[in-house]
Structure 1
């Protein structure tokens, strides 16, 4: 008894390839094949590009959050002073910072002073956030010591009356290196006649750009001792900033830090940015679902093409069936036709999407040039450029989605061809 050929044998692949290459005049659907291929390619490329930009956004935001802000902030318990005002300053800040810095997993801990004041220069005014910090501690803040762009010398910070400011503050006030920025605080010196505003001028010795507009636009660093005097914090600190070796593992570090610091309140970077990251994650999921529908629509073109192909090749199917070709072989032939389009379109889409993510900067520069500039406003989007980051997991998920849909939608027209009655197929020929 003759053995049946194995699935997807050479003759089945040969027939499928001939059908894919056939012109319309020969009963093929080459135009629909091209349209199906282009649709899947563009849909997969759009999905990968979107996933890359989405991952780039999250990476940039988390990177700037972790690089320009403390991973953990410690605050002393609230006390009521003699005037009836709430007071939560650290009096033993040096000991507390040293104890926290000794915890395994903590890379650095520093006491800081914080305050919001009005900055002025040559008739321009802007609200800024002042952070008083030691020069050695400021040099350990990653995106301040190693920013996207910087001007001046960070080593001059703390020497004399030198301060460091964000590039957004410099642009808002028209400041350059060597200029003097005036800081005006309403809670200034206390006199017998009340509290008078405090006005002090400092030389700008360092300008930095971390890449997030909401940081570059408001951040001013003042030497710690000067900040204590300026904000009436003599001998105390407002908080202790803690930096970790592994910021993603911040939840596991809460208990050891509390045990070392004593009776304090703790605030992590996830607490301050958790809602924002959850919004990003929800947006990611919605975008993936929407673009998955786009891929599904593109793969449905395969169904249209295969239905036309089955109709045009009904005579061939009848002849092949009368010659002994089984239903399973016919199904596999047309399944190969559809899946080949899906595989080719998916691979081309992966290449196009990856190329877009890799060369997104020159592509976006070209779009910006064609549009006449101003396409990207950092004050609105908070970061200085459009990010893109390829993750192999994203590429694999896009490929799996496209290939899976291509294989599934191909089954239905292939089954229709396999179940065609050869007598009916040849009756009108």
Structure 2
């Protein structure tokens, strides 16, 4: 009794390989093979590149939020004092800050005075968000301690003011230049509140890579900010950083308990929640759209295999008369389609990974060719296009491409297997 060859034997791979590399005059579809392979490769490349940029954008966006802002702000619940004045400031702030620092998971608690003023220099004006903190507290902010770019000396903050790079550029000032701050909430007089102005020397200029920080942020020494904003002996908030910002909601009760009664919190997830939800929605939409692109590219495999089956009808008839089973014929054409999908996926993964790794020089070249202005930080809030290659994203792209290649190959392979050898050889 003749021994039956096992599935996916060497001869099946050999026949599939000969069909894939056959030239047009030999009844092959090498051109269609290349078109299908390039289509799959480009689709996988686009998917991986988009997922990498998406991951990098979220990481960069969250990183700049967390690196230059509080993970949670501890504020005073407003109340009326004996004089009937609404109080929103924190007293005994050093003791409160020390208690918050002792909470497990908290890395920083800085008493902070916050106010909005107008800055003026060189006949230029700009709105400024001023934060008053001690020098040692400002130096512990991650993006202030290690900025993208900086000038001057942050340790000299007690002698002047620190400005964001775009704010300094808008005012036309550099290190050592004077800047005048103008606040409408000045000294109370018999005719109401008088405008308060003070002049400070620029001792430090920083660029953290987030537009809304670099464009409006300024830092003053805590004591100077208390005098300027009429906060003697009190602060507006405690600016708190934690080890795990993504888990901030679990730490808030302990932080508020340490800060004392009649306090409430405002977390970074509350302030940036709209952006994060928009990013998540965009991620899902882009993945669906690019999945359709991969599907379209995979359908090229189907059209190529249908042409291959049609051109190889005579060969199929001969192979069937030689004793090949329907299953063997199905596996031969299945291997043809799957091989295109596998090699196209491999090429796409390589191109996508290279794009994510070398995105900066690639994007700089594109920006140069188009004359600049492709990336506007004022709209996207970060300085440059980021990319972060994650194994999960690559595996999702590979799994989607291979699964679609597997599915679209079955129909033409079954058609070839069911071909009647008599009909295939009738007119040969």
**TM-score over 0.5 (shorter chain):** yes
TM-fit CA distance, 1:40: 0.6
Partner of 1:246: 244
Partner of 1:171: 169
Partner of 1:195: 193
CA distance in 2, matches of 1:403, 1:112: 55
CA distance in 1, matches of 2:153, 2:2: 86
Partner of 2:292: 293
SS across alignment from 2:317: helix
Partner of 1:273: 272
TM-score normalised by the chain length of structure 1: 0.98
CA distance in 2, matches of 1:135, 1:229: 16
CA distance in 2, matches of 1:233, 1:270: 28
Partner of 2:104: 104
Partner of 2:399: 400
TM-fit CA distance, 1:246: 1.6
CA distance in 2, matches of 1:132, 1:308: 73
Partner of 1:375: 374
RMSD of the alignment, in Å?
A: 1.0
Q: Which stretch has the larger CA shift, 271-280 or 12-21?
A: 271-280
SS across alignment from 2:194: strand
TM-fit CA distance, 1:236: 0.4
1:181 aligns with 2:214: no
Q: Which stretch has the larger CA shift, 366-375 or 170-179?
A: 366-375
Count of residue pairs the alignment pairs up: 427
TM-fit CA distance, 1:259: 2.1
CA distance in 1, matches of 2:4, 2:250: 62
TM-fit CA distance, 1:193: 2.4
Cα distance per residue 1:286-323 (max 9 Å; x no partner): 00000000000000000000000000000111111111
SS across alignment from 1:383: coil
TM-fit CA distance, 1:395: 0.7
SS across alignment from 1:305: helix
Partner of 2:415: 416
Cα distance per residue 1:352-384 (max 9 Å; x no partner): 011111111111111111112222221122111
After superposition, residues 123-138 of structure 1 pair within 5 angstroms as 123-138=123-138
TM-fit CA distance, 1:27: 0.3
In structure 2, runs of 5+ residues without a counterpart are none
CA distance in 1, matches of 2:357, 2:144: 27
Moved segments of 4+, more than 3 Å = 81-85
CA distance in 1, matches of 2:224, 2:266: 26
TM-fit CA distance, 1:2: 2.4
After superposition, residues 204-243 of structure 1 pair within 5 angstroms as 204-243=202-241
TM-fit CA distance, 1:262: 2.3
CA distance in 2, matches of 1:83, 1:340: 82
CA distance in 2, matches of 1:124, 1:375: 28
TM-fit CA distance, 1:255: 2.0
Cα distance per residue 1:41-92 (max 9 Å; x no partner): 1111011111111111101000011100011110111112466553211011
CA distance in 1, matches of 2:257, 2:122: 49
